[in-house]
A and B are shown apart, each in its own frame.
Chain A
Amino acid sequence: MSGDLSDVARLTCVSKRLGGRSVVAELDLGIRAGEVTALLGPNGAGKTTCVSLLTGRIAPDAGTADLFGLDPRRPAARRRLGVMLQSAGLPDVLTITELLTLQSGYYPDPLPLDETLALAGLTDLVDRRCAALSGGQARRVHYALAICGRPDLLVLDEPTAAMDRASARVLWGTVRALANDGAAVLLTSHDLAEADALADRIVVMDTGRIVADDTPAALRARAGGSVIRCRSRLTPERAASAPAVRNADMEGADLRIVTSDATATVRALLDTDTALADLRVADATLEDAIAALLSTQPERLAA
């Protein structure tokens, strides 16, 4: 990305302990306008904590959190922020129209209600009370709450977790359009297909630190090479000692090996385990790239 895009929000050398445990340590992260940034990492990596710090839900123990030049804990800083939380509920007895009218009123220059409803795909549900919504519909209301104030920074925490694929694609389209119009978007997701489809930039976190910060294409290229899957008696530790192996782990019953030279690795594997069966070789995906970065099981990402 070009370097002249300015940060709309920034964590500078931020540390935070929660429940006696360090969750984020001396972390620097800037969010740029016009760009979709995806924050990925296993559970407990510190993604939610970063989002909480940037949206003013918690204050850092050390370092500074900055949102449009202000402390995110001040309501004024949040007038250009829209947030879609994963854990939040909806007030059961209000209708969608009442709720969105109330929320729009918090912002200086909100979208017209019709436009918000259309963007979130809620036009047919306007008079429905929130208690009567399905999980996917409730997520769309949360999305509407996040975008109704024309935010310059849109934070989406697991936006499509309870949505079907079709709704998710519609949402991706509108998020992409907002970013193209100059909004900054910060996305956390367990769904790597989502991150790959949406993000201009992927930040990978592990145990409270940033382990990679790059474009999806560059991350894929970094993983390089291929992924070998097979049934074998070898442990991942043994397999990791084969030539050219970047990472080895178990994926269900399969042994899964990321390698920069599939031919050399396969030759060594077949020599070591003569009973090896069901061998498959594929190009490395974004998921493989990130799993290699984390050096942990990919299940942790999908959890």
Chain B
Amino acid sequence: MTALVATPTGIWSREAVAELKRTSRLPQFLVPTVLTPAAFYGLFTLAVSKSPSPEYALGTLAGYGVFAATGPALFGFGAGVAMEREQGLIELKRVSPMPAGAYVAAKLVAAVATTALALTLIDALAIVAGVRLSAAAWGALTLLHLGSTIPFALIGFGMGMRMSGKGAVAMANALFLGGSVLGGLWIPTLMLPGWMRTLGQVTPSYHLGQLARGIVGIDTVGTTVGHAIAVAAMTAAGVAWSWTGWRRSPA
């Protein structure tokens, strides 16, 4: 029996467009996810220290950009996937001929697009506060910030395939806030107590934050290569965590 028939083209892009549409129609998700990081940055960096130096605004920009990427990734993937699984939407995809990768890629595109919106607001605030960077530095920083979505998305996806919607929301919150504090995204790592710094080293937030600080040329802990290796290893672990989650038998 001949079984192999041609793969239709364009599945991946159509899946991504549908996911972008869905995201744009969920303002209750989109608005807080986009506004929260910018509001925090505005409040803690600009408003609290009445007239922040551009250097200070730059240092916190590095961290808050990573923070902006964790929200869409952890909530869109973690909580979102868990809820879609509970509603039987993943089952719908699993019995269809859609490749699993198209589903993940589409959600990733939507998460990166959401991150891009949040970054636009934060970067605009930073410019208002007097931050000036070369075009190359802006480009590198933006790429890193957008790319920060990936490891968190993989962590979230693995969570979403294993946890209930409620459990995944709670866990996403813990990682979102905990990772940001321990990883030194809000308060620079060097100002944290020693035990928090040690704990923070297991979070992607810490290593991504340090890489971002390196790009804009402010003081970092450790080496760029070391942080890049840590991020790569955590991303690889995230791929395995996600893949095993997807392959799990539906309960």
Contacts and interface: CB of A to CB of B under 8 A. Distances in A.
A52 B11 CA distance: 24
B109 interface: no
Contacts of B94: 56-57
A144 to B, nearest CB: 12
B95 A83 contact: yes
A91 B8 contact: no
B91 A85 contact: yes
A57 B250 contact: yes
B41 to A, nearest CB: 29
Interface residues of B, number: 32
Contacts of B95: 55-57, 78, 81, 83, 85, 155
A242 to B, nearest CB: 46
Contacts of A108: 5-8
Given A55-B95, A58-B249, A83-B95, A105 B22 contact: no
Contacts of B1: 6, 8, 68-69
Given A56-B94, A68-B1, A78-B97, A106 B88 contact: no
A98 B3 contact: no
A9 to B, nearest CB: 10
Nearest to A67: B3
A149 B95 CA distance: 13
A33 to B, nearest CB: 10
B5 A93 contact: no
B104 to A, nearest CB: 13
Would you call the interface of chain B mostly helix, strand, loop, or mixed?
loop
A103 B103 CA distance: 12
B57 to A, nearest CB: 37
A264 interface: no
A108 B4 CA distance: 11
Interface in B5-26: 5-8, 10-11, 14-15, 18, 21-22, 25-26
B178 interface: no
Given A78-B97, A106-B97, A106-B98, A145 B92 contact: yes
A70 B18 contact: no
Interface string B212-228: 00000000000000000
A195 to B, nearest CB: 22
B24 to A, nearest CB: 9
Interface residues of A, number: 39
A172 interface: no
A88 B92 contact: yes
B88 A102 contact: no
Contacts of A75: 97-100
A77 interface: yes
Contacts of A93: 21-22, 25-26
Contact of B4 (A18, A76, A81, A94): A76
A89 B7 CA distance: 26
Contact of A94 (B2, B10, B18): B18
A2 interface: no
A91 B96 contact: no
A106 to B, nearest CB: 5
Interface of A: 6, 8, 18, 52, 55-59, 68-70, 75-81, 83, 85, 87-91, 93-94, 98, 101-103, 105-108, 145, 149, 155
Interface of B: 1-8, 10-11, 14-15, 18, 21-22, 25-26, 84, 87-89, 91-92, 94-100, 249-250
Given A55-B95, A94-B22, 9 more contacts: A8-B1, A57-B91, A57-B250, A78-B95, A79-B5, A80-B3, A83-B96, A87-B91, A94-B21
27 contacts: A8-B1, A18-B249, A57-B91, A57-B250, A59-B249, A69-B2, A76-B7, A83-B96, A85-B95, A87-B91, A88-B88, A89-B87, A90-B89, A91-B22, A93-B26, A94-B21, A98-B18, A101-B14, A102-B14, A102-B15, A102-B18, A105-B14, A106-B96, A106-B97, A106-B98, A107-B97, A108-B8
